[in-house]
Structure 1
Amino acid sequence: MWPFTRTPVIDPTHGDPRARALMNALAVQDRNTVRACLADVHDPDARAFLISLAADVPGVQDWIPRWVEEEPDSTLPLLLRGCHAVWWAWEARGAAYAKHTSQEQFDEFFRRLRLAENCLDEVTRRTPEDTTAWAFLTASARGRQIGPEEAAARFDAVVKYAPEHVMAHEQRLQYLCAKWSGSHEEMFAFARESASKATPGSQVHNIVAAAHIEYWLRLPSGEDQEHMRHPQVRQELIAAANQSVLHPSFRFVPGWPSRANTFAMALHMSGEFGWAARVFDVVGDHVTDWPWSYRGNAAKRFVSARKDAYAFGR
């Protein structure tokens, strides 16, 4: 696929027309189109991807309570309101560490998370098999600092119906990070156990790369690069990539680029430029904000890493 002829633009929909239509419909309060966009989406990962985009549309909180009130028997507006409130809560908190976050921000953060959980709890009460609702409850568990047993129960409720639900695994990994409610040991144990159970071609294998990136973030300068370039880490990343994005059975369900970008960045940081180049072949121009934003401007970091991979890996 090299050379690429344009500077990639971060598109959260990855060019998916249904995803774009859904976001546009929510922006103009078009309930019928929202329903139509989601009506026949039954794959758990695809549905979670679409709902995640819908949840991130600004201003939904201003009008969706009316939809909930006017259609009390429908779980869709409740689900959208609850999922939106999870991301809306993080908007209030900001991305800074706790010591740099004000009490006012925390108060609003928890208020919005309570709203989210009230909605999502009702969805799961009516439809216990709603994996998207459970996945977002897995995400909110981290913010609300829910105890380990309840947090694990939420994740288990997802994988009961969708054993390889990617978003749920990613959110569970975040909960188990040392910066939240776990430890490096718990994080890596979960990532490796989940990958060992995942089928070839599954996107779940990406959490191995995500775990190494999270660990890299916590290390002092110098030690971070040393970790990523350790022979065992490099071997583990290559093996995980070959079971996922580089496997012939890789599942290209909506949302796949963020998982492929995770491998591209991890392999680039590990100095495995040849393997990174193979992943960039798959990614094309589908750059994603996460995880590249951990290193600064996401699009620029993506382009720089891609140039390295093709220059030194071929």
Structure 2
Amino acid sequence: MTTPSVRRFDQAAAFPELVGLRDAVRAADWTAIELFFAGLSDVDMTAFAVKVVADVTGAEEFLEQLPPSPLARLLLGARLISKAWEIRTGYRAKHVSQEQFAGMRAELVKAEPILMELTARDPGDVVAWSFRLRSGRGLEVGQGEVRRRYDRLARFAPHSYSAQSQMVQQLCPKWSGSWDALHTFARECMDAAAPGSLNPVVVGEAHFEHYVGLDGAEAGTYLRHVTVQREIRAAAEKSVLHPDFAGGYHWPQAYGVFAVLFGKMGDHERAVACFRALGDTVASEYPWQNLHGDPAVGFASVRDQVLGGAK
């Protein structure tokens, strides 16, 4: 009798080399960390790997002691940003205490000059700019300033999915954006994207954020609109359902976004395709935790509806 697998809501777990990177951080093995990043050339995969390091609790103690190389400073800045959001938590602002906001701000204020120095020395440091989008959002520097940061980044990497996904969050009304601005940006990203790339996924993220940002009857009907469904299907066909799609380190999140949307839309065939691609053991926390708080509950609720509990 085989033991059933347990799904891990840890996107890095799908990639043994990222698990090794996380272990190297916990062991304070700077040589192994440097070697790992030296082997990366893709901007989005590098940004994801930086986030893996940044999410290691307590890593700042090790990173603060390193000689100040660009990589060490980038990882420290990113870690301080992750620590800030850990203090804030993922709850809506009305559920976050003033003490949590203050603690978050204190960490972001430490991270900002580190990343500013990196982008000043190297304006083409796309990954540092990408993390400045997140710190700017947390510090509430405003839509104009975060857009300025994105535009600077886009000069060097106009199709960075990591940056575009950060802008999706920035443009949501919960961060003083608007639905119109959000969807306009997402469509522009998709229109400029190559078939089989990650970029059209931001259209799916925008519609998912719109869906979870509504209440009551509005939420219940949003994904039934023909124009919304048409746009979601077009985005999926140009990304996760395209024969050339690979996705790098981001594929679990990409499939997850469309699995939720197609499941909620009642598009059984496409929902099944996305769940099958996810497999049996690994998923990302986003978008699942936005449904019920616990990603496992959110995942199971949609998956069981689509697959009826079958694997």
CA contact (8 A) 1:21 1:37 kept: no
Shift of 1:9: 2.3
**1:120-269 → structure 2 map (5 Å cutoff):** 120-269=115-264
3-state SS of paired residue (1:236): helix
Question: Is residue 98 of structure 1 aligned with residue 93 of structure 2?
Answer: yes
Q: Which digits, 9 at most, give the CA deviation of each residue in 1:149-168, with x for residues without a partner? A: 32112111222222211110
Question: Is residue 289 of structure 1 aligned with residue 285 of structure 2?
Answer: yes
What is the CA–CA distance in structure 2 between the aligned matches of 1:118 and 1:310, rounded to whole Å?
48
Q: Which digits, 9 at most, give the CA deviation of each residue in 1:214-264, with x for residues without a partner? A: 111221223212111222222211111000000012133112211111111
Shift of 1:89: 0.7
> Aligned partner of 2:189: which letter?
S
Decide whether aligned partners of structure 1 residues 305 and 99 sit closer, same or farther in structure 2, where only a CA change above 3 A counts: closer
> Aligned partner of 1:129: which letter?
G
Question: Normalising to structure 1: TM-score of the pair?
Answer: 0.92
> Aligned partner of 2:268: which letter?
F
CA-atom RMSD, angstroms?
1.7
Unpaired segments ≥5 residues, structure 2: none
Question: Is residue 37 of structure 1 aligned with residue 36 of structure 2?
Answer: yes
Post-superposition, which runs of at least 4 consecutive aligned residues in structure 1 deviate over 3 A?
none
What is the CA–CA distance in structure 1 between the aligned matches of 2:36 and 2:263, rounded to whole Å?
37
What is the CA–CA distance in structure 2 between the aligned matches of 1:233 and 1:11, rounded to whole Å?
29
CA contact (8 A) 2:189 2:200 kept: yes
What is the CA–CA distance in structure 1 between the aligned matches of 2:5 and 2:230, rounded to whole Å?
32
Q: Which digits, 9 at most, give the CA deviation of each residue in 1:60-117, with x for residues without a partner? A: 12232111xxx23x11110000011111111112223323322222222111111111
What is the CA–CA distance in structure 2 between the aligned matches of 1:174 and 1:125, rounded to whole Å?
25
Decide whether aligned partners of structure 1 residues 267 and 247 sit closer, same or farther in structure 2, where only a CA change above 3 A counts: same
Shift of 1:311: 5.1
3-state SS of paired residue (2:257): helix
3-state SS of paired residue (2:12): coil
Aligned length: 304
Match of 1:299 among 283, 296, 300: 296
What is the CA–CA distance in structure 2 between the aligned matches of 1:112 and 1:99, rounded to whole Å?
20
Question: Normalising to structure 2: TM-score of the pair?
Answer: 0.92
